[in-house]
Amino acid sequence: MPHPRPTDVTHRLVPGPAGRVHLVEQGSGPLVLLVHGFPESWYSWRHQLPALAAAGYRAVAVDLRGYGRSSKPEAVRAYRLAELVADQVAVVQALGGAPAVVVGHDWGATVAAHCALLRPEEFRAVGLLSVPYTPPGGPRPSEVFARLGGGTEEFYVSYFQEPGRAEREIEPDVRGWLAGFYAALSADTMPAPGAPDPHFVSPGGTLRDRFPAADRLPAWLGEAELDVYAGEFERTGLTGALNRYRAMDLDWKDLADRAGAPVTQPSLFLGGSLDASTTWLADAIEAFPTTLPGLRSSHVLEGCGHWIQQERPEEVNRHLVDWLDSLDSPG
């Protein structure tokens, strides 16, 4: 079984707008900032840190605010995209690495895209894993998500947006809930086609009701790795992480003047063919010539689920390094 924490990394705390940002770094060279999603931490990049370091890059994986050892402000508005972008700018400036490359997964992909959109002087290129870029604008997010499920089921985002509700489900058994959530979105353990969709909640039910049987972990997730994730959330709770969902309508207001704006820096997209984030947002991928005009590399990994850099680390590392190496050559 893999060691639960990678070796040869340095843990640091740097000042940020909310207080502090915890980061883990390895290697030297051009700065590559790695931003995790929900419900993860810097640890989701444990396979990429040594690979990028070996390729000649300074790989830095952060804990987003609300996670791990980073600050955890109470107010929902503190988890707006503008605030999360400001944290990443603070990291880049503290490390003297501007302009940096930023790579994100899941919510981290959305944060990374907005880093590039809002602070192009700090971020020279952007990599998106699992969640494609969708420009600001359109209908209010809470109204869109409320319509999903056809009135008989509730979409998980709406479920997460109600303060305290998901915490009551998750926090009595953080480890068991995380195991089920990770399994529900992993290629080798996700529910079979035709089974109830784990992205939705039945009336009066919980998200956990649709998770796979708890006796089987995904191949990428050993007991030691699960212990790392569970230990972090048992200590911090889930409210900070869930507040990102609760801030979405605030983003909609904040970014109204950026409606339809493309991200023009050199970019990368990697998705999994079995990941709902990739399949449901197929229209966003098709729009990349307009929304990501600097796209240099785009790959959908066959048979891969949502946790792409952990499910298929060698492929992801190869694509990342090839793309990074291309950034200083003609596009």
In this model, does residue 2 exceed pLDDT 60? no
Residue found by looking up tokens 């793309």 in the block? 323
> Does 201 reside within a domain?
yes
User: Is 271 domain-assigned?
Assistant: yes
Backbone CA torsion sign across 135, 140, 141, 143: negative
| Residue 45 belongs to some domain of the structure | yes
User: Can you give the residue range of the structural domain that contains 117?
Assistant: 10-326
Query: What is the pLDDT at residue 44?
Result: 98
Contact 111, 104 (CB under 8 A): yes
* Residue 64 in domain: yes
Question: Which pLDDT score is estimated for 322?
Answer: 98
CATH number for the domain that contains residue 253? 3.40.50.1820
The pLDDT value recorded for residue 4 is 56
176 assigned to some structural domain: yes
Q: What is the structure's pLDDT at 8?
A: 87
Tell me what pLDDT residue 170 has.
Answer: 97
Between CA 211 and CA 221 the distance in angstroms is 16
pLDDT at residue 331 above 80?
Answer: no
Question: Does residue 128 fall inside a structural domain?
Answer: yes
Catalytic residues: 106, 306
Report the pLDDT value the prediction gives residue 330, as an integer from 0 to 100. Answer: 57
Does residue 214 carry a pLDDT above 90? no
Question: What's the CA gap between 300 and 286, in Å, rounded?
Answer: 13
Q: Which residue has the tokens 């089921």?
A: 153
Residue 148 within any structural domain of the chain = yes
CB neighbour list of residue 319: distance below 8 Å, 6 or more residues apart: 268, 270, 297, 299
How many domains, in total, are found in the chain? Answer: 1
Whether 168 is in a domain gets the answer yes
